[in-house]
Amino acid sequence: MTPLSVLDLSFVSADSTPARALHDTLALARHVDNLGYRRYWLAEHHALPNVASPAPEIMIGQIAAATRNLRVGSGGIMLPNHAPLMVAERFRVLEALFPGRIDLGLGRAPGTDGITARALRRREAPGEGGGHGGGDDFLDRLQELLFWDGGFPEGHPFARIEASPAGVPLPPIFLLGSSDYSARLAGEIGCGFGFAQHFSGMPAEPPMLDYRTRFRPTRLGAKPHAILAVAAICAATDAEAERLASSARLATLRRERGEYRPLPSLAEALDYPYSDGERVQIARGRDRLHVGGPETLRARLADMVARTQADELMIVSAIPDQAARHDSYALLARAWGLGAASQAA
């Protein structure tokens, strides 16, 4: 059975607070740890009122300490925002504290708007990063990060520096993306790959299959491992799942027109006066949000796994009611056949 995992953006709901969202993340991690989910990944976003996840490395340590079985990682660290040495050292610390349970997922986007990206990077040397006209330096940063783990070439100015803590390797690396760029690159360097179907504008099959075709074994990985991240909402019946999904659909509609507002309550979403144009827009996005009762959702997601040859399915659920959110993951776990679901649900 294909493993199930969780991607959590620490959504902020209209009737809660960002601080509460972080505590909700910890509670959900404990919940899915008991259900048999494999991984729990945290996203990096900055200065957005609808998510409370600017520092995944901090949350990774908190969640790993509060759970027993989950692999915990970043989904992902937005590498253009960080010095590679800092990323290497922080994740070596996590790996030292929780050996064999940490993942390092890397993203290429800033995870925010342009002016905030500039604020994140403005202390870099002129010509580096997006904030000073230096362009996309993701490949340079990725190469440097890999050198901090595998060693710099002789004569490199950083060759004499040893990243701390010494003797601890980086955890497994995954490149994350919503297009085919990261898929190709992940295959070529031999690391894992995660495709963000939950917000991508392209079908999942081409990049997922392209990654597998291009994969070449390296010290980063002996065989491909492709994770498909999808937005999904499960409830006892198809009708109840559709009702719960109304909040996520309204939030997506607002986000697509640049409104990053907290996740609306179910009452607000059900009462929202949609225009005909907005209904058409929502209908176009139905392929990116998978909704249904346990069997409906299991069949739909299993079909996606088969078509993409995913090694793992990662679920993100934007549900403002935390009890319903917990139930969604439990119902899907049971329908999917996770080993611990019958004990903990």
Q: What is the pLDDT of residues 181-193, one digit of tens each?
A: 999 999 999 999 9
Q: What is the band of 122 on the pLDDT scale with cuts at 50, 70, 90?
A: low
> Is it the case that residue 128 has pLDDT exceeding 70?
no
Task: Round to the nearest angstrom and report the end-to-end CA distance of the chain.
Answer: 19
Q: Once rounded to an integer, what is the mean pLDDT over residues 274-296?
A: 92
Q: What is the band of 136 on the pLDDT scale with cuts at 50, 70, 90?
A: confident
Q: What 3-state class would DSSP assign to 164?
A: coil
> Is it the case that residue 342 has pLDDT exceeding 50?
no
Token representation of residue 126: 């002129």
For 75-87, what is each residue's pLDDT tens digit? 999 999 999 999 9
Q: In sequence order, what are the residues at sequence separation of 6 or more whose Cβ sits closer than 8 angstroms to the Cβ of residue 192?
A: 172, 173, 174, 175, 186, 221, 224, 225, 226, 227
Q: In sequence order, what are the residues at sequence separation of 6 or more whose Cβ sits closer than 8 angstroms to the Cβ of residue 107?
A: 44, 76, 77, 78, 79, 176, 177
| DSSP per-residue string spanning 298-317 | HHHHHHHHHHHT-SEEEEE-
Cα distances (Å, whole numbers) of residue 265 to 58, 140, 322 = 28, 43, 11
Q: Once rounded to an integer, what is the mean pLDDT over residues 102-122?
A: 84
For 15-37, what is each residue's pLDDT tens digit? 999 999 999 999 999 999 999 99
- The backbone torsions φ and ψ at residue 213, rounded to the nearest 5 degrees and listed phi first, read -65, -40
d(CA 243, CA 238): 9
Taking alpha carbons only, the member of 28, 39, 24 closest to residue 69 is 39
Beta bridge partners of 176: 194
Burial of residue 179 (CB within 10 Å: 0-12, 13-18, 19+) is middle
